């Protein structure tokens, strides 16, 4: 959520930034500022009435104390009338405030100046490509066939027990999965991140804090009985740890990592890219989250990108780095880099990480602030990134490392798997 004061003071800049997302926010923001003005007027009116009622109430107490019954009763009648007036004024004010809130929830974050214009994912800027693309062998199979051949993952069993998109990992498939999780967590720990095991379900307030709610509830699994949501990413519980927290400047940097399963309804997804591990309703992911001083956050974003790139290099996967264009940028993000690995047998780039700076967009909702050197409270910057999402990593590992006599496990993983070949 953008800060209303910022919109008030830099209206044109905000509108101009939002055009990068192909959004014409002019009208919405005009409406917003008009409502804002009305709100302030009605607030002023309401508070004036409240002030009068408050001082009257005080004087009534005094009158009673002095035994002036008649005067007191007269004042009481007046107070009752004032109270009625105050109630009406407050209702008017709150109605306007609700409208303002609603519009604010609808406005996405302003893209960073480096975000390229563009509408589709094909307009994303390829920043770099690294690693060697393997030459596809004669009988190379896509990962879902490999998974079947070596009995690593059973998709049909998942359909029977739960539904499409909930696979079973079996034997070496399961162990490889667990190895990846441990490898990623150990790497994050070595990079100074504190490991967290958070709850896998969150309440509504947390969903609002990180921007999944309102509006995107269709993407999350919801337990209506207790009004709880299955997390779509560890970002939600990890970031909400610091909801309503006032930090000291010396608390920075705050670096968290956590492994969680992620649950996504993926309503509206279809077609060939849901095949196999490419898109699941439940998948495993290790996430890194950071809270930073605003002056430092873009440097940190670069550092996070470099860190995740390092993971892919260690796994020996060819990857490319994309700077997302305005049209592809997530609602809450100001700047996002996506990392995609090349999955040879599918001949596809698969997104395995998304690393974003949200600036104050989430912090504003979270009320995540710090006391600056002047003793003033200001909003912190939040950042996060996948490090890494497992299924597509697994897909690329299986596809790229297949040989005539099995699948080769990258050397860095062998201590974790306990086997070097499938």
Binding site for RNA (CB under 7 A): 4-5, 40, 43-44, 47-48, 50-51, 53-58, 60-61, 64-65, 75-76, 79-80, 82-83, 369, 377
Query: Looking only at Cα atoms, what is the longest distance across the chain?
Result: 103
Closest approach of RNA to the CB of residue 133, in Å = 48
C-alpha–C-alpha distance, residues 280 and 166, integer Å: 6
Closest approach of RNA to the CB of residue 361, in Å = 16
Strands (E), 204-334: 222-223, 228-230, 246-248, 254-263, 282-292, 319-323
At 61, list the tokens: 């107490």
Closest approach of RNA to the CB of residue 410, in Å = 36
User: Which DSSP letter does residue 198 get?
Assistant: -
Of residues 104 and 409, the one with the C-beta less far from RNA: 104
Of residues 53 and 407, the one with the C-beta less far from RNA: 53
Of residues 57 and 141, the one with the C-beta less far from RNA: 57
405, 368 Cβ separation under 8 angstroms: no
Pairing of strands 254-263, 377-379: unpaired
At 119, list the tokens: 């509408």
Closest approach of RNA to the CB of residue 365, in Å = 13
Concatenated DSSP letters for 219-232? GS-EETTTTEEE-S
Closest approach of RNA to the CB of residue 103, in Å = 15
Closest approach of RNA to the CB of residue 113, in Å = 26
**Block residue for tokens 């609808």:** 106
Of residues 64 and 140, the one with the C-beta less far from RNA: 64
Of residues 51 and 159, the one with the C-beta less far from RNA: 51
Of residues 56 and 274, the one with the C-beta less far from RNA: 56
C-alpha–C-alpha distance, residues 290 and 343, integer Å: 30
Of residues 64 and 105, the one with the C-beta less far from RNA: 64
Closest approach of RNA to the CB of residue 34, in Å = 14
84, 99 Cβ separation under 8 angstroms: no
Pseudo-torsion of CA 153, 155, 156, 159, nearest 10°? 130
Choose among 54, 112, 100, 105: nearest CA to 79: 54
C-alpha–C-alpha distance, residues 283 and 165, integer Å: 9
C-alpha–C-alpha distance, residues 402 and 209, integer Å: 43
Closest approach of RNA to the CB of residue 39, in Å = 8
CA-based end-to-end distance of the chain: 48
Of residues 54 and 219, the one with the C-beta less far from RNA: 54
Of residues 83 and 178, the one with the C-beta less far from RNA: 83
C-alpha–C-alpha distance, residues 115 and 96, integer Å: 34
Closest approach of RNA to the CB of residue 29, in Å = 16
């Amino acid at each position: 959520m953008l800060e209303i004061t910022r919109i008030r003071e830099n209206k044109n800049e905000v509108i101009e930034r939002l055009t990068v997302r192909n959004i014409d926010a002019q009208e919405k923001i005009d409406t917003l500022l008009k409502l804002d003005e009305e709100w302030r007027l009605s607030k002023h009116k309401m508070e004036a009435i409240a002030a009068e009622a408050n001082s009257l109430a005080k004087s009534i107490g005094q009158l009673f104390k002095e035994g002036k019954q008649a005067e007191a009763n007269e004042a009481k009648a007046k107070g009752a009338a004032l109270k009625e007036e105050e109630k009406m004024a407050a209702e008017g004010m709150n109605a306007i405030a609700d409208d303002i809130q609603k519009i604010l929830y609808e406005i996405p974050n302003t893209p960073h100046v480096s975000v390229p214009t563009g509408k589709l994912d094909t307009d994303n800027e390829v920043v770099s490509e690294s690693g060697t693309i393997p030459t596809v062998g004669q009988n190379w199979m896509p990962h879902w066939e490999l998974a079947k051949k070596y009995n690593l993952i059973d998709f049909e069993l998942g359909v029977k027990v739960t539904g499409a998109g909930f696979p079973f990992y079996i034997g070496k498939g399961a162990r490889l999965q667990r190895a990846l999780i441990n490898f990623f967590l150990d790497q994050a720990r070595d990079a100074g991140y504190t490991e967290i095991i958070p709850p896998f379900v969150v309440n509504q307030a947390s969903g609002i804090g990180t921007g999944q709610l309102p509006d995107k509830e269709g993407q999350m699994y919801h337990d209506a009985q207790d009004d709880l949501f299955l997390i779509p990413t560890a970002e939600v519980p990890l970031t909400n740890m610091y909801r309503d927290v006032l930090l000291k400047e010396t608390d920075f940097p705050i670096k968290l990592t956590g492994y969680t399963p992620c649950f996504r309804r993926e309503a509206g997804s279809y077609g060939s890219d849901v095949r196999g591990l490419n898109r699941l309703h439940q998948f495993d992911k290790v996430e890194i989250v950071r809270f930073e001083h605003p002056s430092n956050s873009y440097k940190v974003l670069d550092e996070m990108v470099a860190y995740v790139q390092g993971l892919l290099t260690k796994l020996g996967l060819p990857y490319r780095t994309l700077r997302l264009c305005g049209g592809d940028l997530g609602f809450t993000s100001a700047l996002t880099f996506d990392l995609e690995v090349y999955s040879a047998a599918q001949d596809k780039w698969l997104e395995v990480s998304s690393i974003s700076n949200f600036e104050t967009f989430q912090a504003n909702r979270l009320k995540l602030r710090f006391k600056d050197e002047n003793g003033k409270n200001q909003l912190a910057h939040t950042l996060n990134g996948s490090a890494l999402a497992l299924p597509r990593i697994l897909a690329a590992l299986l596809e790229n490392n297949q040989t005539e006599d099995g699948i080769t496990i990258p050397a860095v993983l062998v201590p974790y798997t306990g086997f070097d070949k499938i």
